[in-house]
């Protein structure tokens, strides 16, 4: 397990606030593996190191891990805090008395699948490109999208001085009367507004964007604004 600062370990396990725990360490009231520690930069391995406060062993509290799938509506900001008083996704899960964070982001005008959790390791594995967790979007575009344009998206297009990763792209429908195209685009990078920027790179205006899947988890049974808990099997499938 990754090492953490001693004061964080103490705070996470109910001794006091992190700042107060720093004072306790400075006062020589904390031991690690039988040795008094007074340096605030000390890191420990919670799985192997024995931590004592006033000669009493501090047992690691097992945190209840929560994973929620939300069908995010348009108009909500994907953040845990908001300085401009705009609606945030946390407003939709107020009944959960646990501090959660969004796993990645959907911009204010994108709807669909969003996971909220208190598991930092899950957040890392679900969002880092090296783990290649796929996200599938349905995007509605103005105009007809040609096969060669979809091929460009599949192979990567230039967005902000870099090339997007390879994508899976499928034409769902072209409505000739309305002159709009609907595509399914699957990516695993998840850069900021990546799908929108990819579509802009082929000179297509995005009219609507909805994330339908994260990994193999579909948001479809949920109505907009609704949420549900993920099962252990679903969580394991994403971070396997």
Please confirm, yes or no, whether 107 is among the known catalytic residues.
yes
Whether the CB-CB separation of 13 and 30 falls below 8 Å is answered with no
Q: Which of 12, 55, 95, 107 is catalytic?
A: 107
Strand partners, 77: 88
Contacts of 1 (CB under 8 A, 6+ apart): 45, 46, 47
Contacts of 146 (CB under 8 A, 6+ apart): none
Q: Which two tokens stand for residue 121?
A: 């390791």
* CA–centroid distance for 113 within its chain: 11
Q: Which two tokens stand for residue 5?
A: 């600062």
**Residues with catalytic annotation?**
107
């Amino acid at each position: 397990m990754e090492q953490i600062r001693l004061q964080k370990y103490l705070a996470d396990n109910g001794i006091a606030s992190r700042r107060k725990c720093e004072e306790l360490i400075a006062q020589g009231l904390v031991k690690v593996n039988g040795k008094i520690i007074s340096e605030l930069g000390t890191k420990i391995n919670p799985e192997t190191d024995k931590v004592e406060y006033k000669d009493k062993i501090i047992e690691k509290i097992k945190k209840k891990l929560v994973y929620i799938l939300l069908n995010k509506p348009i108009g909500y900001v994907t953040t845990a805090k908001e300085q401009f008083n705009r609606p945030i996704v946390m407003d939709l899960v107020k009944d959960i008395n646990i501090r959660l964070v969004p796993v990645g982001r959907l911009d204010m005008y994108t709807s669909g699948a969003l996971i909220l959790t208190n598991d930092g390791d899950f957040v890392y594995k679900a969002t880092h490109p090296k783990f290649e967790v796929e996200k599938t979007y349905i995007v509605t575009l103005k105009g007809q999208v040609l096969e060669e344009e979809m091929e460009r998206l599949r192979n990567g297009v230039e967005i902000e001085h870099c090339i997007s990763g390879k994508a899976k792209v499928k034409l769902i429908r072209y409505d000739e009367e309305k002159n709009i195209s609907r595509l399914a685009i699957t990516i695993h990078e998840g850069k900021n507004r990546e799908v929108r920027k990819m579509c802009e790179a082929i000179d297509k205006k995005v009219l609507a964007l909805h994330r339908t899947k994260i990994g193999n988890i579909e948001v479809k049974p949920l109505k907009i604004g609704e949420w549900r808990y993920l099962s252990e099997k679903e969580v394991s499938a994403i971070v396997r």
